Chain A
Amino acid sequence: MEKFETLTGIAAPMPLVNIDTDMIIPKIFLKTIKRSGLGANLFDEMRFDRQGNEIADFVLNQTQYRETQILVAGDNFGCGSSREHAPWALADFGIKVVISTSFADIFYNNCFKNGMLPIVMPQEVVDVLMKDAEHGSNARMVVNLEEQTVTSSDGEVFSFEVDSFKKHCLLEGLDDIGLTMEKAASIDAFEAGAAQARPWV
């Protein structure tokens, strides 16, 4: 996995609450057996009309937001299905950070597995950053994972919380499976014990 370095990028505002995984990537695009290429259909039903033409007022279609790397979004972002296609599509488009007051659980976890950082901030801070994001490409935010801060375009600094293990993996670009396999002895021991205690399983 790629390491998460400090990110300086354009932030786009998406104030809608409950943006679900069907909006992020409609299921007709889940038919692939690959991970890549989904960015082209990110937010497909909001971004394109039925003929495949861009809907001009959708935020990511506006000139100043084409290079968006950070989303500032409404409450409960990523609710709905467990499909990892949602973070894959965001990442493939180039979005590496989503900031919201809350995230759906599975989506939140899925982000970290794909080198992305979901950031939970209190409503007041999201409000400030949402305003900032409305300034388009003039407003570059800085996300520093090491320091756990987001800096708005006018230099205001906000800190955020992140699980230390998840942070470590993201910073180092560590692969979960490799890490877990180092603990194979514990798993073996557990399995042997469980076979005694619950042989019917």
Chain B
Amino acid sequence: MSPKTLYDKIWDAHVAHEADDGTCLLYIDRHLVHEVTSPQAFEGLRMAGRKVRAPDRTIAVPDHNVPTTAGRENPEAMTEDSRVQVAALDRNAKDFGIHYYPVSDIRQGIVHIVGPEQGWTLPGMTVVCGDSHTATHGAFGALAHGIGTSEVEHVLATQTLIQKKSKNMKVEITGKLRPGVTAKDITLSVIGETGTAGGTGYVIEYCGEAIRDLSMEGRMTVCNMAIEGGARAGLIAPDETTFEYVKGRPHAPKGAQFEAALAWWKTLYSDDDAHWDKVITIRGEDIEPVVTWGTSPEDVLPISALVPSPEDFEGGKVEAAKRALDYMGLEPGQKLSDIEIDTVFIGSCTNGRIEDLRAAAEILKGKKIAVKRAMVVPGSGLVRAQAEEEGIADVFRDAGFEWRLAGCSMCLAMNPDQLTEYERCAATSNRNFEGRQGYKGRTHLVSPAMAAAAAVTGKLTDVREMM
């Protein structure tokens, strides 16, 4: 048999139909649904008189547009549009008989955090969701695609996705990370290297010692941002760390089923002589804690660097850099570590897991914030409960952080959690686009530890100085 990549193996195990031109119907094992990109899909089903083909493979949770403040179970507490979207999801989940975690359920949270937490996401699966950060689930060695609403409707109706196979790209992070460097710094550094279009047309497999050394939480952070590098999905081969995480989760297999699954999962790795269309290697030792200075995730630099000048770039990027500096209110040559911050946001599907909160709390212990406002939005109700139990919630509260309920919150600022004009935020989320966190708001993407450091000093700060 010819050698295969991990992507090849999962792909081959899911092709339900292949046309002569290579267009495939890829069978979907898990379909995650949220309130913002699904209403039009369910509406389409109703209009055509169609059913959900596999309701027991379909899991819904409201997250993007829910309030993250106390008392939100009361519909009165929601803005009109949230209420409409959440009510639509309530009704669709009920009418079509799919698994559902309403806001009142402690298991509710960001869809990409809930899936793995509940054991819905398992190695070797195909997972889709109407959200680009579905790539997160690739951390389990699952092929996970973000899809548009038409595709959501297509998967609901047929449990398949029309796909052509992507190319294989390997991103290897060798050696060990230095202290203070985290999964977020890895994933941002990779985008800094490849650009936001560098992965277009590829599925990326992350490998190497530094990736192996990461916890599942860290691996999810890395894969989460594969999409920001343009890739169709990110993958990490499952190993003992993965199996340990999965074991005992509510929807993971049990007993003999688990053993059978494990036997297959252990075959899920790229063969030694598999073919790669593109390979990138980064030395783990070379990665520093990074921040973004512009309005694209590729605008990333080590915290020790200076704000670049548009002349440092070529082609269309010159104009884009000019525009970004103007939008961000920055001058070329300014030290990144001199940039003053108004607000700190810790949360999102990139960095809203327990490990992220622990890393931030480690820095915050016994300190007070020096920014105007700081908020933590745990990725799920269960993450929140665990943080309460570990005493982390108190560390945040004592430091002056708002301690919110689970949801996407200021990652995309659809609900009232928004930046005001020119407000400058250090955020652990994944997008620093213009207006992403609020009209004319300014976002610097960082790791949770770096966000905590910025909260304490009031400016972008090298977390290593505080360790």
Contacts and interface: CB of A to CB of B under 8 A. Distances in A.
A16 interface: yes
A31 B81 contact: yes
Contacts of A79: 196-197, 230, 296
B25 to A, nearest CB: 6
A34 B38 CA distance: 10
Nearest to A179: B162
A198 B264 contact: yes
Interface residues of A, number: 57
A183 B25 CA distance: 9
A186 B25 contact: yes
A128 to B, nearest CB: 16
A149 to B, nearest CB: 21
A177 B296 contact: no
Contacts, number: 181
Interface stretch (B1-9, B13-21, B68-76, B272-280): B13-21
B462 to A, nearest CB: 28
B164 A163 contact: yes
A22 B232 contact: no
Q: Residue among A23, A82, A106, A163 with the most chain B CB within 10 A?
A: A82
A92 interface: no
Given A45-B435, A79-B197, A80-B132, A27 B413 contact: yes
Interface string A178-198: 001101101101110010011
A74 B316 contact: yes
Interface residues of B, number: 72
Given A33-B43, A45-B439, A176 B162 contact: yes
B25 A16 contact: no
Contact of A200 (B146, B258, B436): B258
Contact of B197 (A34, A87, A102): A102
B85 A177 contact: no
Interface string B54-67: 00000000000100
A17 interface: yes
A35 B147 CA distance: 16
Contact of B148 (A22, A109, A190): A109
Q: Residue among A30, A103, A197 with the most chain B CB within 10 A?
A: A30
Contacts of B317: 17
A140 interface: no
B39 interface: yes
A115 B461 CA distance: 48
Interface of A: 15-18, 20, 22-23, 26-28, 30-35, 45, 50, 74-76, 79-84, 87, 102-106, 109-110, 113-114, 163-165, 176-177, 180-181, 183-184, 186-187, 189-191, 194, 197-201
24 contacts: A16-B320, A17-B315, A18-B296, A22-B434, A23-B434, A23-B435, A76-B230, A81-B132, A82-B130, A82-B132, A82-B148, A83-B148, A105-B230, A110-B150, A110-B151, A163-B164, A177-B50, A177-B158, A180-B162, A186-B25, A190-B16, A191-B159, A200-B257, A200-B258
